[in-house]
Structure 1
Amino acid sequence: MFVTTTRRPAFVRCKQAALGVGVLASLAALVPGALAAPRPIPETTDDARGLPIPPVDRSRDPVVVIAGGTLIDGRGGAPVANAVVVTQGDRILAAGPAATTPVPANAARTIDATGLYVMPGLIDLHIHFTQQRCHDFGKYSDSPAGAAIRGVALAEQLINAGITAARDVGTVDDVALRIKEAVDRGIIRGPRVLWSGRIIATTGGHGDEVTSTATGRQKPGFGGPSKGFNGPWEWRTAVRQQVRSLADWIKLGAPADKEELAAAIEEAHSLGVPVAIDSYGQYTDWAIEAGVDTLEHPLLMSDQAVPLMKKHGTAFVPTIGAFDNLLTGGYPTAGIPTGGFYHTHSRRFVIDQQDHLKRVGEAHRAGVPIGVGTDIPFENDTRYPDAYFRELDYLREAGMSNAAVLASATRVGAQIMKMGDKLGTVEKGKIADLLILGANPLDSLKNLRDVRYVVADGKVVVDGPAR
């Protein structure tokens, strides 16, 4: 049995579309506000998903006062000498000059910050909690449990350095989600975590290779069954699976075709979840045109990439240090030689550090939002937190001022993370994620290493000189 269908003429479709518009217009006239933007939700989860939650009563939470320090609030103004920051529970109640900022009489604790500098907590936009560490890791088999233990150790390293928020852009199973929950519940010490689950890739693409991207060695059992996705609908399905698993972000990997990238990005955005991509060459341009939120890495960028990023509002997380490590020493404990990527199908191009710095400078001058991310795959025990501060130096080398780099590490990073309404500046109503330093970071970025106190989610987690 054959069934035939007749396509409606174009003028019929146009007439019906016009009729639909008229109906909607009539509805809007009859019901004021029917098509207006949704009202803001008063209280939401403290992550990129922004899900509604019941009102939170913080009136009985302890009040902490930080007094006498110089406040660099992250909003771009001049530092405020002899400032006061007042927090209650996990929120900032007030911040400003001591002369005009009221201090509650019921403070549970007052931190004397005289001679110190108070600023927002730092943000790392590109980490992997499950990456390898220790010189002897090759002797041991891996598992999700082992990955979780490594992740807990890395979380401790980050928070001690004043990194109070981190985005995990590729994890083993649900390890990063469980670290996020453990931090939220106070079980472990660590930064606020946003996570993106497993990288969505085509069969054999980055995230589904049989050989390791870094070493070129074949994975045991050829990496097991393929976890790749093929075709636009499979990519949509993969996004839906990630959102179902409570992902804050979606992470895509190249290569992929234009339709697959567009479908995944459209699907994620329709569900209110942002998208990052690890990409190169033409795939980068396709992803930017499709509306991807962040581009990770400056790999093999075309001359059109930065103008496209500016046009489409794409943010840039360059992770320069991750590739300079390959060029200047490799990863000895992993057996990765100096020079670049070897024996990997999805990295068939030369790494050029000067080109990377050039692209970052070009993006900065064009007004592209630039965030700080590290992406260290091996030797986490010795390279963190130093890798973060080295990344700031690379941004400086690319032509950014100290103030611009600090903004990338705080306010701009929070905006890129889709948390700009809650993180990145020290002001009333924001989450109390604070860093107190012994010297002025605007004078030298090296002063960010002089950590005296770290406040995360309103709790003093580093009390006195950092360990």
Structure 2
Amino acid sequence: MKTAYINGILLDGSKNMVPQTDKVILTDGDKIESIDAKGRKLDGYELVDLEGRYIMPGLINLHVHLPASGKPKKKQSDSAKLVKLLTSTEFLRKMSMNMCAGYAKTQLMSGVTTIRTVGGVLNFDTRIRDGILKGELEGPRIVASDMAVSVEGGHMAGSLAYVARSAEQARNYVRIVARSKPDLIKIMITGGVLDATVKGEPGELKMPPEFVKAACEEAHGLGLKVAAHVESTEGLEVALENGVDSIEHGAAPNDRIIELFRERGACLVTTLSPALPYALFDPAKSHATEIQQYNGRLVFEGIIHCAKACLAEDIPVGLGTDTGCPYVTQYDMWRELNYFHKYCGVSNAFALYTGTKRNAELIGLGGVTGSIEPGKCADFVVTEKNPLESLEALRNISMVVTRGKRIEEPRVKKMKNVERELDRFL
């Protein structure tokens, strides 16, 4: 079907985007055919009147875990035990995969037209990806990693990650994950805020350098890039020295780390959303212990430091939410853009560019999506207000277009208690 989007204000996703009026966006099937001046003949096109609303590329979330909603809990659960239960029978596996597919759909309905999953249950992520591509499921484009690789006592070990006890096992688990044809491999190099048992060790090195090197060599041999969970300076150095392609989260870098980023051609995926509640919330609301709050601040400040340093040195920086962590929902990618603006000091335009075109480029989809240009996929969101003036305009999306398919007035079920607490930090 040929469609003409008329009377909208265009934000094209470019680095220095400005509102463009009197433009007509023409699509043919799932592709953008052209962007023309108002007044051209539109015979043969279905007209969609945007009535002065803003149209921009769909958001891209580079760090998603599909098996969780982000609902806060008063007590930390045993994730390995829970995943074991949820995968113990065919019925429970089907129920769990349907839950993950539902969360993927929530991302889409909130204006995210592409997600990158970085640690999931079994091969659910690739199955959901393929189901969406076949039209059997409704959801965003998915760049999937399936299960990650960790070590004994490491981050997400036994739940969303296999447990490697040698370098050869790390290689073997990469091969096992690759059987489902994922788009990347995820490894867990350091611990996280909830893994630490003492103050000052939220990013303790868990995966030995030889494990990292083995996993990266195997993945690269299979044509797959490697994303790494890293939350310490030591972890950054180990990751980049041994072949990692993207650092997820980050920590305070030194000169050697900046040099390694350049040598590797690696990028940083900034995730401020999961650390903020532990760092800034009243512990009565976050249910964080004194140790968790202290370590949360270290991680939050380290991620900000890393993002600012990389931006200053022209190291590529992308954005993701780490969805699934407490207070990090499947519908709040706009908050990550807002935190990037607020805490890393970038403009609203740069935050929008990062969450769309830049993110697409970092995952090899720059020629497919991320900006509104002829030949690219018709992935759009429409808002009533101007996101360049306030990123909160993205909070309520009035239309989503995914691969040419239009969804009018998309809705998601929101958690009022989560909204209330997070709104204190806009």
TM-score scaled by length of structure 1: 0.73
**1:454-465 to 2 correspondences below 5 Å:** 454-461=400-407, 463-464=408-409
Deviation at 1:350, TM superposition (A): 6.7
1:92-139 CA deviation, whole Å, 9 max, x = no partner? 11124335xx665222x2111231111110011111111256578979
Show the counterpart of 2:24.
84
Show the counterpart of 1:276.
227
Show the counterpart of 1:357.
304
Q: 2:86 aligns with which of 142, 149, 158?
A: 142
Deviation at 1:234, TM superposition (A): 3.0
Q: Secondary structure at the match of 1:228?
A: strand
**1:142-221 to 2 correspondences below 5 Å:** 142-143=86-87, 144-208=93-157
1:124 aligned onto 2:61: yes
Deviation at 1:341, TM superposition (A): 4.1
1:67 aligned onto 2:6: yes
1:140-170 CA deviation, whole Å, 9 max, x = no partner? 9634334323313322321121100101100
Partner Cα distance (1:340, 1:423) in 2: 42
Partner Cα distance (2:396, 2:2) in 1: 25
Contact 1:340 1:350 (8 Å CA) reproduced: no
Partner Cα distance (2:209, 2:144) in 1: 25
Show the counterpart of 1:94.
34
Deviation at 1:281, TM superposition (A): 3.1
Q: Which of the two has higher C-alpha Rg?
A: 1
1:14-42 CA deviation, whole Å, 9 max, x = no partner? xxxxxxxxxxxxxxxxxxxxxxxxxxxxx
Q: 1:111 aligns with which of 28, 48, 54?
A: 48
Q: 1:262 aligns with which of 201, 204, 213?
A: 213
**1:288-437 to 2 correspondences below 5 Å:** 288-299=240-251, 301-302=253-254, 304-329=256-281, 336-339=287-290, 341=292, 351-378=298-325, 383-386=329-332, 388-396=333-341, 397-437=343-383
Judging by fraction of residues, say which structure has more strand: 2
Q: 1:247 aligns with which of 167, 172, 182?
A: 182
Partner Cα distance (1:423, 1:274) in 2: 20
Q: Which protein, 1 or 2, shows the higher relative CO under an 8 Å CA cutoff with sep ≥ 6?
A: 2
Show the counterpart of 2:197.
none
Q: Secondary structure at the match of 1:266?
A: helix
1:310-362 CA deviation, whole Å, 9 max, x = no partner? 443221112111011223348989x95255549xxxx9897343343222222
Q: Secondary structure at the match of 2:156?
A: coil
Distance 1:103 1:187, change over 3 A: farther
Q: Letter of the aligned partner of 1:80 in structure 2?
A: Q
Contact 2:32 2:377 (8 Å CA) reproduced: yes
1:423-451 CA deviation, whole Å, 9 max, x = no partner? 11111111111111212211221112242
Contact 2:151 2:164 (8 Å CA) reproduced: yes
Q: Secondary structure at the match of 1:404?
A: helix
Contact 1:310 1:366 (8 Å CA) reproduced: no
Contact 2:69 2:323 (8 Å CA) reproduced: no
Q: Letter of the aligned partner of 1:296 in structure 2?
A: E
1:394-429 CA deviation, whole Å, 9 max, x = no partner? 211211111111111001100112211111111111
Distance 1:179 1:281, change over 3 A: same
Show the counterpart of 2:173.
238
Deviation at 1:300, TM superposition (A): 5.9
Q: How many residues align?
A: 381
Q: Letter of the aligned partner of 1:448 in structure 2?
A: L
Deviation at 1:307, TM superposition (A): 4.1
Contact 2:25 2:32 (8 Å CA) reproduced: yes
Partner Cα distance (1:233, 1:310) in 2: 28
Extract unaligned runs of 5+ from structure 2.
88-92, 190-205, 413-426
Q: Secondary structure at the match of 1:282?
A: helix
Partner Cα distance (1:304, 1:239) in 2: 28
Backbone CA RMSD of aligned residues = 3.1
Show the counterpart of 1:55.
none
Extract unaligned runs of 5+ from structure 1.
1-61, 214-225
Identity of counterpart residues, as a percentage?
Answer: 28
Partner Cα distance (1:93, 1:237) in 2: 45
Distance 1:66 1:337, change over 3 A: same
Q: Secondary structure at the match of 1:114?
A: coil
Contact 1:361 1:400 (8 Å CA) reproduced: no
